[in-house]
Chain A
């Protein structure tokens, strides 16, 4: 995630929502880690957080994030694919709230959460980007996303930030479009094994 944020152009202003599988008790560490690598404002989503340009929103542990017009809402509904926050939940709501103007990015991860949601984004005319499974620490998630959206843009981790920058320049994005990136180092509750994927540490 740090590589993606680091690769964004200096005047990036499109709101970004990051959904990462987290243990239900995980703390604010993720927010501070990401804040260190960007000038954009990084914050955890709270109840009815307004979507503002130049901000990066992190899905909190043990809640789903739903994208509505101009607002992010929270839900404690059942986990989806054993995950809460679930990437599908966020992507699907974004595709419906911003049809044709949202961008979904699926990155490394250990299950297929995000594939369905990415397809909805693509079906509604938005843009689908998938980290190249060959370069991902855990190929399951991007591979599943590619099966769901075969003509998604496939990029190496290092190229994603710059690619998004180019999309922005081309006017393919407006200020009100929300982009969300899904990373999926699946923090495995059941096994009690909180392994952070190496993709984050880079």
Chain B
């Protein structure tokens, strides 16, 4: 049997890593966005997608473009900051939220929810729907923040692709939805426009988890499938930000494969459901 062949000399992973680090440094110095502590393999993949989309052949060429053509930077920023999501993603999470968190929320006269890294907003609308059905939306304020203003505009508009509605309806039902999902939107061309009544209680605003500080105290913080794009040290910093922004006994909700273990705050929370829903106890 033949031995495994030598790696071809054309691929130099050390060089590539350096080029990526230089690109991220250039972005930071020139535009102020700090992607330097993002998880390497996922940001690398997104960078290469942009390199290929621009018709370039290496990362250094992309660095040249972003420094001298801000439109390319806008496109790259979208690539790096949009986190694909879905309405009622992981329906089990929303079901557990209804069953285990809502009873706790009923005890508050006023409920503040922070969607950190809300991206295009699907999960914000999902939470608004859930709170509405539980009779809590009227005394809630949802703060939906993201690093990218373009993405926030999309979230504010509340229009999602009509073709996704079947999948979202299934999710909604599995999440314990009490009504007919189609009540919440009207079809307009290819889009489903969600009821403005839902966003009356939502504030969309720009906030950078990496560089900005805490801006309020919340009863609930939801940050789902955002931390997976951060390296461990950045996750620890962001967990500190969340800890400082949560009331005592406040609730932190993470993505289904995320955890608190990369921060010093793990012992400050107890998990209150089979899902990644934690209550701040210390």
Q: A-side interface residues toward B, CB under 8 Å? A: 25, 44-48, 60, 62-63, 66-68, 71, 73-78, 89, 93, 96-97, 99-101, 123-127, 166-167, 170, 172-173, 189
Smallest beta-carbon distance B229→chain A, Å: 8
Query: What CA separation (Å) do A158 and B110 show in the bound complex?
Result: 62
Partner of B13, one of A25, A78, A99, A167: A99
Contact B257 A45 (CB under 8 A): yes
Asked if B41 and A25 make an inter-chain contact with CB atoms under 8 angstroms apart, the answer reads: no
- Write out the residue numbers on chain B whose beta carbons fall within 8 Å of the beta carbon of A60: 256-257
Residue B215 at the A interface, CB < 8 A?
Answer: no
Max chain A Cβ within 10 angstroms of own Cβ: one of B7, B46, B91:
B7
**CB-CB < 8 A to B85: which residues of A?**
76
Complex contact A63–B11 (CB within 8 A): no
Give the nearest-CB partner of B40 in chain A: A68
Pairs A–B under 8 Å by Cβ, sample size 13? A25-B92, A46-B257, A46-B258, A47-B228, A47-B258, A74-B228, A76-B85, A76-B225, A93-B41, A97-B13, A101-B7, A172-B3, A172-B4
- State which of B45, B232, B256 has its C-beta within 8 Å of the C-beta of A77: B45
Of the candidates A25, A76, A101, A124, the one whose C-beta lies within 8 Å of that of B174 is A25
- Does any Cβ of A come within 8 Å of B227's Cβ? yes
Given contacts A25-B174, A47-B228, A78-B84, is CB(A66)–CB(B42) below 8 Å?
A: yes
Contacting pair A73 B39 (CB below 8 A):
yes
Instruction: Name A101's closest neighbour in chain B (CB-CB).
Output: B4
Contact of A74 among B5, B8, B84, B257 (CB under 8 A): B257
CB distance from B169 to the nearest CB of A (A): 12
Task: Please name the residue on chain B nearest to A84 by beta carbon.
Answer: B84
Contact (Cβ within 8 A) A48 B84: no
Q: How distant is the Cα of A170 from the Cα of B42 in the complex, in angstroms? A: 34
CA distance A97 to B3 in the complex (A): 20
Distance in angstroms from A86 CB to nearest chain B CB is 11
Residue of A66, A76, A125 ringed by the most chain B CB atoms within 10 A: A76
Q: Once bound together, how far apart are the Cα atoms of A46 and B258, in whole Å? A: 7
Q: Are B262 and A170 in contact (CB under 8 A)?
A: no
Which residue of chain B has its CB nearest to the CB of A67?
Answer: B41
Interface of chain B residues 1 through 16 with chain A (CB within 8 A): 1, 3-8, 11, 13
Report the separation of the CA atoms of residues A46 and B232 in the bound assembly, to the nearest whole angstrom: 13
CB distance from B58 to the nearest CB of A (A): 14
Report how far A170 CA is from B4 CA in the complex, Å. Answer: 10
The 9 A-B residue pairs with the shortest CB-CB distance, nearest first, are: A100-B7, A66-B41, A68-B41, A99-B7, A125-B7, A125-B5, A75-B42, A74-B228, A73-B41
Q: Which of B4, B83, B167 has the largest count of A CB atoms less than 10 A from its CB?
A: B4
**B259 interfacial contact with A, CB 8 Å:** yes
- Chain B contacts of A63 at CB under 8 A? 257
Residue pair B8, A127 in contact (C-beta under 8 Å):
no
Report the Cα distance A44→B256, complex, angstroms: 11
The B74-111 residues at the A interface (CB cut-off 8 A) are 83-85, 89-92
- Additional pairs, 12, CB under 8 Å, beyond known A66-B41, A68-B41, A172-B4: A25-B91, A47-B257, A47-B258, A48-B232, A60-B256, A67-B41, A73-B41, A75-B229, A76-B228, A96-B13, A100-B7, A101-B4
Shortest Cβ distance from A72 into B: residue: B41
Q: Mark B143-178, 1 if CB is under 8 A from A, else 0.
A: 000000000000000000000000100000010000
Chain B residues whose CB sits within 8 angstroms of the CB of A66 once the complex forms: 41-42, 45
CB atoms of A48 and B3 under 8 A apart: no
In the complex, chain A residues whose CB is within 8 Å of the CB of B232: 48
Q: Are B84 and A125 in contact, CB atoms less than 8 angstroms apart?
A: no
Roughly how many angstroms separate A197 CA and B13 CA in the complex, as a whole number?
37
A47 with B45: CB separation less than 8 A: no
Q: From residue 246 to 282 of chain B, which have CB atoms closer than 8 A to chain A? A: 255-259, 262
Those of B56-86 within 8 Å (CB) of chain A: 83-85
Which residue of chain B has its CB nearest to the CB of A93? B41
Contact partner, B6, options A77, A96, A100, Cβ 8 Å: A100
Q: Shortest beta-carbon distance, A79 to chain B, in Å? A: 9
User: Which residues in B have their C-beta under 8 angstroms from that of A97?
Assistant: 13, 41
Smallest Cβ-Cβ distance to A167: which chain B residue: B1
Q: What A residues does B84 contact at CB under 8 A?
A: 76-78
